Structure 1
Amino acid sequence: MMRIAAVAHLAGLVLGLAACGHARRQASGEAPQVVVPAAQRLVVSVAEQMMVTMEGGIPRRLFRVSTSRFGTGDKRGTYLTPLGRMEVVDIVGQGLPVGARLKAREHTGEIVPVDAPGRDAIVTRVLQLRGMEWRNRHALERAIYIHGTPEEAKLKTTASYGCIRMGSEDIIALCHWVKVGARVDVVEGKLPAPNQLPP
């Protein structure tokens, strides 16, 4: 709750500053700024096992996630979660029911219940990621995803095999909003304030 309040406070500050700037432009007779579609950004904190979604630099929503139990990195043949800037290159599973199992990004026809014993499947939706930096250049070939997991009891802990896991209802909500091309930043520390995000 404290983290949600902090993000809401940050959003209020950003909106307040934007409103002040708009008022100053009107008072000075400056032409109004043209509104362009806001850039989408997802920021994942390994330290907090949380994701914040942002649009135009303004925080929108917090989600619980789970990154690798083996740590961070991008070495081939490992189960590490890569750090740094990536982008969404595909969204798979739109319209599938909660718990729909995906293998090689195809629906198998199976539905896996939440917290089904002994199940560690990829379910519901997949956001396929491509690394945009040298340190995460293997992300696409390593099949690093943001995806739904049936192991929702393990969210907020390091439990995955390299991917970024989310609860099924959460990833459905995310996929209603996110578009191909959205930026994804995975940071080792805590979620940064909007003005402290990597450029």
Structure 2
Amino acid sequence: MKNIHISIRDQRLILKENETPIRNYPVSTSRFGIGTEMGSMKTPTGRFRVAQKIGGDMPSGAIFQSRVPLKPGDPIPPTEDFVMSRILWLDGLDEHNANTRDRFIYIHGTKHEDKIGTPASCGCVRMRNADVIELFDLVDEGTPVVIET
């Protein structure tokens, strides 16, 4: 069974088949630290699952607003924190992180690929666009995820 392990300290995401690592990616977690409070923009820790996969038919670099891809000619959202390419929406399985889905915590692509490997997000787990597309294709909805410090 595939599972995802994210280390905040190492800023790495490891995809495992059972306990054997099969992919290892650099990521960017929150620049605001670790936490589960609504509106905190912190990355939660604990046990999760991939609740929903979004964007599988979109090109690399597609920008999403409220999980809907922008169409050509749509105005670009007034934010620096674009959600791009693919979305793996996480659902918390522990009491302390049960609000994760309501906080809209994703694994997603970013336009800030130069900051991958350092804490720079607003709570989500950012990946390089090519990496999140590959990961998206390798996992299913329901895939277990662990985020630890």
TM-score normalized by structure 2?
0.93
Corresponding pairs, count: 144
* Higher-RCO chain (CA-CA 8 Å, sequence separation at least 6): 2
Identity of aligned residues (%): 36
Q: Does 1:152 align with 2:83?
A: no
Report the counterpart of residue 12 of structure 2 in structure 1: 50
Post-superposition shift, 1:93?
Answer: 0.4
Is there any run of 5+ residues in structure 1 with no aligned partner, and where? 1-38, 112-117, 189-199
Separation in 1, partners of 2:32, 2:71: 30
Matched residues in 2 for 1:85 and 1:165: separation?
Answer: 18
Residues 36-94 of structure 1 show CA distances to partners (whole Å, capped at 9, x for unaligned) of xxx11100000010010001221101001000000001011210100000000110000
Is 1:171 matched with 2:132?
yes
Q: For the Cα contact (< 8 Å) 1:65–1:164, is it kept in 2?
A: yes
Length-normalised TM-score, structure 1: 0.70
Unpaired runs of 5+ in structure 2?
A: 74-78
1:120 shift after superposition: 2.6
Structure 1 runs of 4+ aligned residues shifted over 3 Å read none
Q: In structure 2, what is the equivalent of residue 105 of structure 1?
A: 67
> CA-atom RMSD, angstroms?
1.3
- When Rg is computed on C-alpha atoms for both structures, the one with the higher figure is 1
Could you tell me how far apart the structure 1 residues matched to 2:92 and 2:37 are? Answer: 13
For residues 111-168 of structure 1, the C-alpha deviation after alignment (integer angstroms, 9 at most, x for no partner) is 9xxxxxx843100000000000012111000000000001000000000000000000
